[in-house]
Structure 1
């Protein structure tokens, strides 16, 4: 469990980090909190020749409101997310998820940028982020662009992040004021990672019909995904136990369930449906 030899350099700005990536000829990796990267380096899943530390770049921290969206710096830690007043007021589902990540050491060092951009299929924050229509603000050789989180992750640890680019912030939609939210997680007792994590943001109109619903699911497959079949089944319906149970069965539609020694495909499929129903009921009933 010893990583391969590598060089280390600290970037003092976003532009400097991009420059260092260019100079590394594909051998460079960005490191922030390190809780996602270092374990796979120890197993030699990846062997970067150079680690580029962005943890001291002040522009990569903080939370602010821009119109109907929240912008969060990629270096903002899980602890800061969990306790930020803007996050707790406007998008509390993200704070709720952040409080459930790992242990206190991980929450103090791990960052939202690393948790989302790493492409880990059992990361917590991608579920609420995708339910909040997240966009990743990316700085690279060609300038700045916004990449939608839905479709950004292609598979375990595989993303469409352009070469020599870094995620500098996350943009998240502020839900309607009448919407409520939750993040429910069934975690692996040895690791704390979600076997399934379900984020729900939903609300009803004055007639009691569901007019807003977003469901993000992590842990059960190769990528975090929006359960759009569930959303489509619920929109315009009056929430009830039967309506929600029926819709929750669609949470596994067109999803390849993961399987390991802890949980089979069948078990993951069942618990995904159960937790989706529980999350929806806690918000809508």
Structure 2
């Protein structure tokens, strides 16, 4: 009798603690599959690969029961769900990327406010570039998308003594730190914020959320930080605001992505761009391995899976 195939995008020999029983196969997006996709019951999506690669085997995965991403977002695999039978569980990587993404968020904020890109360019010219710069201290910070990553960002904001952290999510609730405002209150909250951080998933309700109206609601001199997905922001509308000099931006994600060399966003004033590096750090692998061991163990023991986003 054939054992159930579990396709891992990390080498199984490098993951200590995987339960015995399943037939583990390694596939990280190569041209050749490690087996027949029809025999795969648990599919760990290749990490940091183009969406087309992740989707390629899904139409043939007729026995599939679980799709596990190693990313916090699942928008890149959602188009493939229509090919799957009913009852397949889609799980994300909650718990894997919070530390790294929150670190980068703080780095982008501090670099933008304190003018680090200007200092680097001045160093290349041998120029001593002094002057006053904004601080993060005493600023009001608005986090749009207050899930586990949003909370991790607030953890790291606190020592920098912001005047206030305002939390926004799709629906309002109360936390130990204070209220989380519903998305409907965003227009009233935007004009109060010096720094606006986007950490929301990309879905139908968030796609294009940051449009002309959103940006017009930001106060003069505010900083927009996007560590969510590029599609959350209307790039044309953002370019218009940047070129006017009214706001600045720090972007780890863009639309389109990768950003073509000739794209005007590269040369827009007041923008700092990093190439979608919120997740891939030394913190990724140990957390990803722990997640996979936990999820596969739950699956083998027929226990409830963690991080279930939806069921087909």
**TM bracket, shorter-chain basis:** under 0.3
> Which one has a bigger Cα radius of gyration?
2
Please state which structure has a larger fraction of its residues in strand: 1
TM-score (norm 1): 0.27
Larger relative contact order (C-alpha < 8 A, sep ≥ 6)? 2
- Taking structure 2 as the reference length, what is the TM-score of the superposition? 0.25
